[in-house]
Structure 1
Amino acid sequence: MAPITTLAGGDWIRGITIRQPWATCILAGKSPENRPKPWSWRGWVLLHAGKARPTPAVLRDPLVATAIRSRELPLGAVIGVARLTDCHLDQGPARCSSPWAERDVHHLVLTDVHELPLPVPATGALPAWKPTQNLVDQVLQQVPDLRP
C-alpha cells in the first residue's frame, strides 16, 4: 500500500539529532530523551544519529552497554522514527522513574518507536529540524504505514 501524505515533508514531521549511543539506545527502549530546554513540538520525529563518535567511557556504562549489545551505531543517518507525546521538566522519580531520566532537565517522551531496516544518510541540525520531502520519502519507503 502506498503511503498517503497530505502535508509536505517537514509540515507533519520533524527531525531530532541525537548523539550516539543514545540514538540507538532509544531504538532499544530508552525513554525519556533528556534535553536542556523544553520542546513544544508533538508528533512524529525522525531519529537522526549525529556524526560524533561516542567515547569509550560512555560505551562502558552498564545501562548503555546492555541497550546497544549486538547493535551497530550508525553515524550521520536517520535510524528510526518515533512519536513525541510529551515534554516535561524533571520532577524526580515520582514523575519519571526511568533509569535513563537525568535530573534537572526536560524529558522528551517518545512512543511508537520504529527502527529503520536501513539507515538513511542525512544531515541533521539542532534542536528540531524540518526534513526535506526527499528524506521523508526515503523513510516512508521503509515504514510505509507511517501516517501524518
Structure 2
Amino acid sequence: MSTVTLPPAGDWIRGITIRQPWTTCILAGKDVENRPAPWSWRGLVLLHAGAATERTPLRDPLVATAIRGRALPTRAVIGAARLTDCHQDAAGTAPCSRWAQPDVHHLVLADVQELALPVPWLHGQLGPWRPTQDLVD
C-alpha cells in the first residue's frame, strides 16, 4: 500500500472563519462567501465556524431552509471546500449567486465537504489563515 506525503499545512491549505449560520449554509449549498475585501488565495480552505452566531439571518427564509434540522456548531472546523474565485459583481448585472450580496467581494466555493464530526478550534481570524499541521492531521 502506498502513502501520500502532503507538503506542510501552511503551503497548500488555508482556513476561513465564518460566523454561524453562514458556515452551515455553505455545507448546505451556499456557494459564495461575502467578504469586504478581495482574497488572492485559491485552493483548499478549512471551513471554521467562529465563536459568534448571528441571530438576524435565522429569520431569513433562504437561511432557515438551508439550516433546517442541522446543528450550528461554533469554534470548530466543520468542513472543507475549494476556493476557486474571488470577484465583485459588475454594477447593473445580476448577482452571481442567490447568496451574493451587492457591493462586496464573493469568495466562490466548490467541492464542499462536511466533516463527520466538528473539530474544535479556537484560533480563527478574519482573513485567510494558515492551519497548524496538528489541525490538518
Q: Tell me the number of residue pairs that the alignment of Structure 1 and Structure 2 aligns.
A: 136
Give the drift of 1:93. Answer: 7.3
Letter in 2 for 1:124: G
Task: From the superposition, tell whether residues 12 and 93 of structure 1 become closer, same or farther in structure 2 (CA, over 3 Å).
Answer: farther
Gaps of at least 5 residues in structure 2 are none
Any conservation in 1 of the 2:86–2:106 contact (CA below 8 Å)? yes
Percent sequence identity is 68
Task: From the superposition, tell whether residues 38 and 120 of structure 1 become closer, same or farther in structure 2 (CA, over 3 Å).
Answer: same
Any conservation in 2 of the 1:90–1:102 contact (CA below 8 Å)? no
Distance in 1 of aligned mates of 2:42 and 2:28: 21
Deviations 1:73-108 (A, max 9, x none): 000000000000000112257463422110011010
Within 5 Å, which residues of 2 pair with 1:1-148? 4-55=4-55, 57-91=56-90, 94=93, 96-122=95-121, 123-137=123-137
Distance in 1 of aligned mates of 2:2 and 2:10: 19
Any conservation in 1 of the 2:95–2:101 contact (CA below 8 Å)? no
As a proportion of its length, which structure holds more strand?
2
Task: From the superposition, tell whether residues 107 and 93 of structure 1 become closer, same or farther in structure 2 (CA, over 3 Å).
Answer: farther
Q: TM-score, normalised by structure 1?
A: 0.86
Task: From the superposition, tell whether residues 47 and 5 of structure 1 become closer, same or farther in structure 2 (CA, over 3 Å).
Answer: farther
Letter in 2 for 1:41: W
Task: From the superposition, tell whether residues 66 and 40 of structure 1 become closer, same or farther in structure 2 (CA, over 3 Å).
Answer: same
| Secondary structure class of the residue paired with 2:20 | coil
RMSD between aligned alpha carbons?
A: 1.7
- Paired position in structure 2 for 1:145: none
